[in-house]
Structure 1
Amino acid sequence: MDNEEPLEPETEDEPKTEPAAQDSDKALYCEAEASVAAEKEKSGWESSETDLEIEDTEKLFTTGQRELYLEACKLVGVVPVSYFIRNMEESYVNLNHHGLGPTGTRAIAIALVSNTSIVTLELADNHITEEGALSLVEMLQENSFLQDLNISDNELGFKGASTISEFLQRNTSSLLNLQLSGNNFRDESAELLCQALSANYRIKMLDLSHNEFSDKGGEHVGQMLALNIGLQSLDLSWNHFHIRGAVALCNGLRANVTLQKLDLSMNGFGNEGATALGEVLRLNNSLVYLDVSSNDISNEGAAKISKGLEINESLKVLRLYLNPLSMDGAMSLILSIKRNTKSKMEEIDISNVLVSEQFTKTLDGVCAIHPQLDVTYKAVQGFSAKKMALLWTNPMKLIQSYADQHQITVADFFKSLNPKGTMTMSVGDFRKAMIQQDKVPMSRYQVRELIKKLDEKTGMVNFSFLKKVKP
């Protein structure tokens, strides 16, 4: 068998061989460790049933780690995952869609107890259920290196939420980022999770999208946000929050001082929820990113949000895509930025709105005051295809032409825009520098295209890769 050929597909769980549950956290791995010690002199598990053939394994990972996982697989009765074995010493491991089930997850958890390499672990869509969640929680009590865990789409349900909530209440893990999207969590799960998160200060990023939280769940989330002092990013998109849940959630945001990124898209806030959000934006000084796309917010709601934007000094990104806005609502948004001299707004997404040429002229005036601002809309009424083509002339070609004329590299051109002289800049600073520089005049459309090419999806643009391009 070729060494690069993957193993046979992982088998389904085999309940008949699964050991009984243990009370102690250490029970997760002590049996496997004992088995490793007993067979330390053996050459490893070479059963034909596993079809496991690995070349020069000692160069890839420590024998102890490999043996521990193989013995754990033998103990619980599953076929080892070849990808996991090959990547046990990497910092990022992606086991999404591997069909692990709760038993396969238990074997992985046993191996991870003493693993010091893996920082990010993806386990989405593995049908791990609440049983697999328990194995992972037991492992997390011992592992102090794992920081990012994705267990989305795993049918955890209420029992899984209960297990995770008890874990979060302990505040003892190194985990910072937890993704729990699409796990059939309802309001009773929201209550447990929010009770735990009210006192948890370790989790920084939490994804609860694609669950089934209703207005009652929104009330629990609002109470949690009023007390939590750790969360920096929260994704609640694709739930079922309506007016009551939106108002309760916003009441919690009034008191929150740590949350920076909030995704509430694909819910049902309506204009009443938008009114509550507008009040929050007048008071909150921590939110940097807010997504309320597809929330049935009309011009009336946009006007309420605009009232908050006239005062807010922290928000940089506002997404209102797929809301029933017209040009009037769009105009109220950009005029609110114009009135706020301390606004830090960098991006407004209203990309389903058709605007007029008068709107673009008004926007030009706003951008003269706030050159870091970019507003994405659908199109401009009356603009010909030829005129639009001129606006979208390839910006990199223009910069390359300037660089050739002045015998410099494209990287040198970008570097000259940065006061710090480094090869990275925040998106807002880069947009501002590009609009204000006069070496290669560009439209907002062209600058937006440049950012798409250079943005690392982290709010930073990086042009270091251009250093190799010679004049």
Structure 2
Amino acid sequence: MYEWEEESQLHEEEQQPSDQSPPTGSQDQVDEVMPAQGPDSGDEFDTDLETDDSTSHSLSRAEVYLQACRRTGAIPISSFIRHLGETDLNLNHYGVGPLGAKVLAIVLQTDNYATNLELEDNAIGAEGTRYLMEMLQSNITIQSLGDYVVKELDLSHNKFCNAGGEHLGHMLASNVGIEVLNLSWNHLRMRGAVVLSTGLKANSTLKQLYLSWNGFGQYEAESLAQALKQNRTLALLDLSSNRMDDEATAILCNGLANNDALKILKLSNNPLTNIGALTLIKTIKNNMKSAVEEINISTVFVCEAFVELLKEARERRPALDVQYSVMSSVSRNLSALSIFQKFLKERNESLMDFFQALDKEGITKVSTSAFRAAVKEAKVPLDQRQLDWLTRKFDQNCTTNITYWWILW
């Protein structure tokens, strides 16, 4: 729900008895800051975040906020005034808009309390983004006043497009100390995504980046891959619910192949298939310096080859957690190997013994037809599909012969 407060409502709150008065100043102070006439005709607030230095230091934060609202024409939000001075500024769903973002930026330029800022679902757009980025680039001032910086920034659901992405990219490149940035549910594609990724490439503080529901595809994956090759701090990348197909995932893997920092990758609800999943797990397995601990491709149905490759990857990294989907037929096929192993163990027989009994000529190979016949004759508890899969596993090159000398248990 949006919380838009008319100026008259704000004044009504401030006319309450003294024991319920707002935390900043008297009614006279508010009236002085917000006179009855219309907005100033001056344009000092049109392009910059300028304030009147001769008076701003003598005003309370609420007075600075109300003055900025009056000059920009933004509707004041009384709840924001009540939260001024708190370390966590949660303004989610307040309908801040571009002008509100400008007012917020003006106030936070000289604020030495805020450490966390949340602005989800506020439609601040590219214009509002510019104001916030300008404010964040002056965080050195905030740091010198109170040794605080804004480390978490939630800008999801704000309709950012190319211009917004460019402003955010420039902000990231300037290393302002942000560690968590949520840009989900925006429109950061094409040029906006490229500049954003360029900023990520130069950034040395960001640890978590949320980019779900932005329409990222092959074009955007290319710039992200380049960023991942150089970035050494990003630990979580969320690309859920985008347009990341098999080709886009392969492009992204070009960056993952040379990355040693990323720990969590989220790719669920994308159009990638088992092919993209295989490319991804191969890249992680082959990158000896990879730090990946968790991959979410929970909406991808994988094949037996993926599960076996993942098993190999976990031999080196037992803690690797991959969330995926698998059809019952795949699970049944994968169980064929363990069923065959159990059968041989119960007969006190090795796989080598089983094949040597079939190899009458001693040439270390038997035909697939002979293997099938022997399995059925021995009454190994496998159905036809499981037997087909097990045969293909042993005859991976489809030569109709199984060279068994290399098989070790």
- The reply to whether residue 146 of structure 1 matches residue 114 of structure 2 is yes
What does residue 94 of structure 1 align with?
none
Aligned with residue 103 of structure 1, among 43, 64, 75? 75
Deviates more, 1:253-262 or 1:217-226: 217-226
Aligned pair in 2 of structure 1 residues 353, 273: CA closer, same or farther (>3 Å)?
farther
What secondary structure sits across from 1:310 in the alignment? helix
Asked whether the equivalents of residues 263 and 291 of structure 2 are also in contact (C-alpha less than 8 Å), the reply is: yes
| Deviation (angstroms), 1:122 | 1.4
State the aligned residue count. 292
Helix, strand or coil at the partner of 2:286: coil
Q: What do the CA deviations read for 1:175-217 (whole angstroms, capped 9, x no partner)?
A: 1100000111101210111012111241110001100112333
Deviations 1:394-421 (A, max 9, x none): xxxxxxxxxxxxxxxxxxxxxxxxxxxx
Matches within 5 A, 1:188-227: 188-227=163-202
Secondary structure of the residue that 2:298 maps to in structure 1? coil
Task: Name the CA distance, whole Å, in 2 between partners of 1:69 and 1:335.
Answer: 69
Match of 1:326 in 2: 302
Say if 2:87 is the partner of 1:119.
Answer: yes
Q: Is 1:337 matched up with 2:289?
A: no
- Inter-partner Cα distance in structure 1 for 2:3 and 2:222: 47
1:301 aligns with 2:293: no
Q: Secondary structure at the match of 1:246?
A: helix
RMSD, aligned α-carbons: 3.6
Residues of 2 paired with 1:274 and 1:264: CA distance?
11
Greater mean alpha carbon deviation, residues 212-221 or residues 223-232 = 212-221
Q: Which has the larger displacement, 227-236 or 214-223? A: 214-223
Q: Given that residues 137 and 176 in structure 2 are in contact (C-alpha distance below 8 angstroms), is that contact kept between their aligned partners in structure 1?
A: no
Q: Counterparts of 2:198 and 2:3 in 1: how far apart (Å)? A: 43
Aligned position for 1:242: 217
1:414-438 Cα shifts (integer Å, max 9, x gaps): xxxxxxxxxxxxxxxxxxxxxxxxx
SS in structure 2 at match of 1:183: coil
1:315 equivalent among 262, 272, 292: 292
Deviations along 1:146-202, whole A, 9 cap, x unmatched? 111111111111210111121222233421100000111101210111012111241
1:162 and 2:130 equivalent?
A: yes
Give the deviation of 1:68 after TM superposition: 3.7
Contact 2:303–2:326 under 8 Å retained in 1: no
Aligned counterpart, 1:181: 156
Q: Which residue of 1 aligns with 2:261?
A: 286
Aligned residue type for 1:66 = P
- 2:380 corresponds in structure 1 to none
Structure 2 residue identity aligned to 1:67: T
**Whole-Å separation in 2 of the counterparts to 1:362 and 1:122:** 54
Q: After the TM superposition, which of the residue ranges 175-184 and 271-280 deviates more from structure 2?
A: 271-280
% identity of equivalent residues = 25
Aligned partners of 1:261 and 1:287 also within 8 Å: yes
The corresponding residue for 1:348 is 322
1:77-134 CA distances to partner (integer Å, 9 max, x unpaired)?
9xxxxxxxxxxxxxxxxxxxxxxx94333x5555666x2xx22221111111111112
Q: Structure 1 residues 163, 360: closer, same or farther in 2, change over 3 A?
A: farther
Residue segments in structure 2 that go unaligned for 5+ positions in a row: 36-72, 143-148, 339-382, 384-409
1: CA distance between counterparts of 2:221 and 2:337?
Answer: 32
Larger Rg belongs to: 2
